[in-house]
Amino acid sequence: MSILIALITLSVLIIIHELGHFTAAKLSGIKVLEFSLFMGPKLFSFKKGETEYSVRLIPMGGFVKMEGEHEDSDEPRAFSNQPAGKRALVIGSGPVLNILFAFILAAIVIAQTGFFTNTVNILAEDSPLRDIGIETGDRIISYNGRRLYDPSADISIFMYAEDGKPKDITFFDVSENKKVKKVVTPGRTETRFRLGFSATDTEEGARILDLEIDSPLEKAGARRGDVIIRIDDTEVSKTQDIINYLNVTRSDKTAPVNVTVDRNGKILTFENIKPFSDYQYTLGVGFQHKKGNVFDIIKGSFNYSISTIRNVLISVRWLFDGTVSFRELSGPVGIIGSIGSVVQTEQPAGVKLLNLLYFSSFISISLGVMNLLPIPALDGSLLLIILIEKIRGRAFSQEKVGMVSMIGFMLLIVLFIVTLFNDIPRWLF
């Protein structure tokens, strides 16, 4: 059931994208030949006006087919014969609608759960922010030149790639009623010992949700869905028990451990697993969380959307500068698995629904942003081609544009295969 819900969710987001192209094309007077729900062989269709509306066999995504989209055409209303502005509008409307849809989903979630403001309401005793005069009630504006939109998420991603060097921080000092800019050096958490997994606490025990790439527990043979019931001779019933055993109970924190799991009723023990140590940089700060009126909700959803767009772009850069390994890159299988894990968590139905909407909002923004990148076969490359055409004063033939898209499509197939090698061991075994 969780996989079915995940497939439907991802398909809805892709259909929203195609609906953006379709609506813009219709409003621009471009001849649309077909609008299809799903992919593969046609199950049934009907024609309304000049457009065929079809439903296809494979329940994934959809597409819009326009006259002159991939070939030159003598039809005056063909896509290829439209001015640059119209073509750019049609191409850009898909990603933009994804982002607008994400904004709506985020607003629904924020209306129910609230949102974080930039107001500091918690400062750890050893927070480096205390040393520069920040107090509870002050509002943090930016860190290292980057404005905080969704402060809790923004600080988390900033700290992920933190190098520990001093950074500029701008905040509004409430007691002085003025904006202040100072320099802060991030603190470090205590060294902790880990096995490299995340889990959710269930009645059976700590059920593994995800395994980090090349982590000790992954290399030992553990899988998603395994329930950890014992470490060495110590029974564990929740995640905190595991953390305490690795970091508090044992006298030799670096010694290997044996981990016993319940895999669908079968008891398995993985021996001689060596925990690894790490730490994180931190500012030791927590932000005010509140609910608000309709204007607060709109503002909160807008800030979330801007924050997520920026964080997606940061993540793309991390792939190329080595901050994040390509082995951590996920494709459709990974996305479906992630959505499915949201549905599988043991929580009330209302909470599951809100989590699903929130995660869908993130995926929708990611789809929108990624499609705007100037990568062949994606919308961003077509927008770049249209811009080049505008500058050079004449259009490329659709055959040449199609060739570029075909090359890009082949590259995307290669990327898809790479993500399969990442995702299949992580989610299907």
> What DSSP line would sit under 227-272, residue for residue?
EEEEETTEE--SHHHHHHIIIII-S-TTS-EEEEEEETTEEEEEEE
CA 5 to chain centre: 18
The model carries a pTM of 0.86
Alpha-carbon Rg for the chain in angstroms: 25
pLDDT per residue as tens, the chain (429 positions): 667 777 788 888 999 999 999 999 999 999 999 999 888 899 999 999 999 999 998 777 789 999 988 788 889 999 989 999 999 999 999 999 999 999 999 999 999 999 999 999 999 999 999 999 999 999 999 999 999 999 999 999 999 888 999 999 999 999 999 999 999 999 998 899 999 998 888 888 899 988 888 889 989 999 888 999 999 999 999 999 999 999 999 989 999 999 999 999 999 999 999 999 989 999 999 999 999 999 999 999 999 999 999 999 998 888 888 777 766 666 665 565 666 666 566 677 888 889 899 999 999 999 999 999 998 878 999 999 999 998 988 888 777 787 877 887 787 777 777 766 666 666 555
Sign of CA dihedral 313, 318, 320, 326: negative
The Cα 262–Cα 270 span in angstroms is 11
Q: Which residues contact 218 (CB under 8 A, 6 or more apart)?
A: 196, 197, 211, 212
**CA count, 13 A, side-chain hemisphere, 244:** 9
3-state secondary structure of 77: coil
Six token digits for residue 80: 């290829």
Q: By C-alpha distance, which of 184, 186, 146, 63 is closest to 314?
A: 146
pLDDT at 343: 59
Residue burial 35-56, b: 16+ Cβ < 10 Å; e: rest: bbbbeeeeeeeeeeeebbebeb
Six token digits for residue 189: 């958490």
CA 79 to chain centre: 32
The Cα 288–Cα 418 span in angstroms is 41
The amino acid sitting at 53 is Y
3-state secondary structure of 141: strand
3-state secondary structure of 110: helix
Q: Which domains does the chain have, with CATH numbers?
A: 1-114+293-429 (no CATH), 116-189+280-290 (2.30.42.10), 192-277 (2.30.42.10)
The Cα 36–Cα 83 span in angstroms is 26
Per DSSP, 276 falls in state E
